[in-house]
Amino acid sequence: MMKKLIGGSESSLKCEICEEREAQYVCRICGRRVCEDDYSREKGICKVCEMSICEICKRHLAVGKCEKCGRIICEECTAYFDGARRICKECFTSFSSYHS
């Protein structure tokens, strides 16, 4: 869902990423007010969140990297975490079925 800032003083705010252009959108994940260049219309998120989004579900911000495949993953897509090592659901499932 794309949110566009409209009217009043909000429309004259600067982009929270580049701090140069006028903010026109609000990121649906982090709430940053960003300009056209720092916003992904098809995803409805800012460029910072786009770089930090979970590579499995593509809905939540990543909290770490899977030790097996190297993808960045969110809390929900983490199947194993021991405080140091993190393994995603997909790698954990394939590892478990391989060793069963």
Q: Kindly provide the residue ranges of all beta strands, DSSP E only, lying in 1-100, ordered along the sequence.
A: 3-4, 25-26, 33-34, 39-40, 45-46, 64-65, 72-73, 78-81, 86-88
Here the tokens at position 6 are 């409209």
Most distant CA atoms of the chain, gap in Å: 62
Q: Nearest to residue 52, comparing CAs of 5, 4, 17, 1?
A: 17
pLDDT tens digits along 30-62: 999 999 999 999 999 999 999 999 999 999 999
Grade residue 94 by pLDDT with cuts at 50, 70 and 90.
confident
Listed by start position, the domains of the chain span 3-52, 64-98
pTM passes above 0.85: no
The span from the CA of 95 to the CA of 67, in Å, is: 12
